[in-house]
Chains A and B, each alone.
Chain A
């Protein structure tokens, strides 16, 4: 079967000593960063992006992917032990995980989080492998109209995840699209919005924007809130699950896995939405819903499986269609482009060892994480005691050095400071930066497809509505918009975000 041949190729690539090393490094760093509250996978990828420049593209992607799902593992550790979510998708784990820790069952919680994530990771890898080829072949039937509508659908989907007002989220998307216009226009060769600054000829640097909006801005916000770190004073005993707990949590793991695998593929989906949904589902389907929030092991098993499954299946749209479904994958898309790989359906045929190598490395990475993390949990926890006042200058320094190495000029560093200022303003005005980054990445592609579509149809805009696939995407986008605007769903959405 062709699938087996492809997986064999992927295995060869993923298990090469170099890639194995980078997988390990990525997974460990991801866990480390996930453990530290306040720094999530997005910031980590932004900070570590320059370190991947000297690596071959396959290794770079393997490492960055490792960081993403490693951060999922790490985030649950702090949620359970210290009741502070390591990153956004681990928020739900705090609810029951910390209660379990208070009852002396922290070890069981950590173990089920790790095992559930591993099972989910295996399943999601299979999903990725199975869906890859058919989806890419479907994508070849896509014309510029379909791509444009798909991107519209993707951008609208990202609004679903924005916890603030929808109007502002749409505005941020458009602002991101506009910022993506800065630089040389591919079709005409003219420099747009560069204002005579030579460093802007290639557009606003993606790394600068990401680091400024997410990294620097986060640091400033934490300083304002006068962050300190709580130190764990409890000793960890016993990492084993009782048989009863294992039986209880198995269905929760399966449900969480399915939930996460599905939601990860959808635009706007991803780890955060999946973990929330899985928790709600678990609570509703339980015979004792009032036990949730008081240390029910299913309340840990389901969201942890869901967020790991979603982290991996969210690679499907990027690797097959070339459309990142959420902001972390937008960072991956940026990384691919920096390494000279244009994300899209051609990746699977032109760089098969990259494609299958990344997929198989995800499974390998999950294995590494489950084998290494449980014993190492004590070390991770000790890192929680590094005071914030010593940590954030380190982050800032690493960011600046990384930024300089991108283009060997200091303009990029200054640009990042400006983006940090923008990010601060956005935060104060309760505008989410995630839709902006998505718009920024998709902007040039959207313009190109819009232009080509109109050129091919000789100025007839109805082409976006008459071609069936394109119409389908636009209808789905419209449905999403309408759904979000309905008062019932609006309230539910606000509640879901209030719980976090």
Chain B
């Protein structure tokens, strides 16, 4: 029994997991009846439908006609660099202030490009921080912490 459509197989598994999770967590709330639906009713039904769909997907991927699907290829570097730069920004914005976090964000995520060059990335970061400070903070009055918080002991 070979998995003929790997992408559909993984999709089915994903749907199954989400659906099962939906069903499981819905039971913590009152389900109620069809006439008087509790908070858990609709999510439970949705979870059940999703789980069933997941099973169908999995079955089709195994029993279906011969397909040309290949296992999806994951490239970890761009994914990891971009996501971690965003998360890092989120963690460091308040403690270190906008300019520092922004430099880190820009440089770190620029590393994900195959055309990366240090000088360019740093220059890009400087220009962008300038644009952000003028357009977003000054003109559009975005409330973003510009200064780091630790010198004054604020959070």
Interface positions of A (Cβ within 8 A of B): 50-51, 54, 165, 167-168, 170-171, 174-175, 177-178, 181, 185, 187-188, 190, 192-193, 216, 219-220, 223-224, 226, 228, 387-390, 392-394, 396-398, 400-402, 404-405, 408, 410-411, 413-414, 416-417, 420-421, 424-425, 428-431, 447, 450-451, 454-455, 458-459, 461
Contact = CB atoms under 8 A, between A and B. Distances in A.
10 contacts: A171-B54, A178-B22, A181-B22, A223-B112, A393-B106, A394-B124, A397-B105, A414-B91, A421-B79, A429-B72
A274 B1 CA distance: 43
A439 to B, nearest CB: 9
B134 interface: no
Contacts, number: 179
B142 A193 contact: no
A216 B36 contact: no
A55 to B, nearest CB: 10
Interface of B: 7-8, 10-11, 14-15, 18-19, 22, 25, 29-30, 33-40, 42-43, 46-47, 49-50, 53-54, 56-57, 60, 72-75, 78-79, 82-83, 85-87, 89-91, 93-94, 98, 102, 105-106, 109-110, 112-116, 120-121, 124-125, 128, 131-132, 136, 140-144
Interface of A is mostly: helix
A400 B7 contact: no
Interface of B is mostly: helix
Given A188-B38, A405-B144, A417-B86, A220 B54 contact: no
Contact of A429 (B10, B73, B87): B10
B39 A190 contact: yes
A223 B75 CA distance: 10
A219 B112 CA distance: 10
B8 A396 contact: no
A190 B142 contact: no
A54 B56 CA distance: 47
Indicate the member of B56, B79, B110 with the most A CB atoms within 10 Å: B79
A410 B91 contact: yes
A425 B37 CA distance: 33
B17 to A, nearest CB: 11
A455 B8 contact: no
Contacts of A224: 75, 78
Nearest to A412: B90
Contacts of B36: 455, 459
Contact of A420 (B57, B83, B116): B83
- The 9 A-B pairs with the shortest beta carbon distances in the complex, nearest first, are A459-B35, A413-B90, A223-B78, A389-B113, A428-B72, A410-B90, A417-B86, A185-B39, A393-B106
A400 B89 contact: yes
Contacts of A51: 136, 140
A389 B110 contact: yes
Contact of B82 (A170, A171, A216): A216
Contact of A417 (B8, B10, B22, B90): B90
A181 B37 contact: no
Given A174-B46, A220-B79, A420-B83, A393 B72 contact: no
B33 A459 contact: yes
A166 B106 CA distance: 39
A400 B128 contact: no
Contacts of B57: 167-168, 171
Contacts of B85: 396
Indicate the member of B29, B35, B46, B114 with the most A CB atoms within 10 Å: B46
Contacts of B91: 410, 414
A383 to B, nearest CB: 15
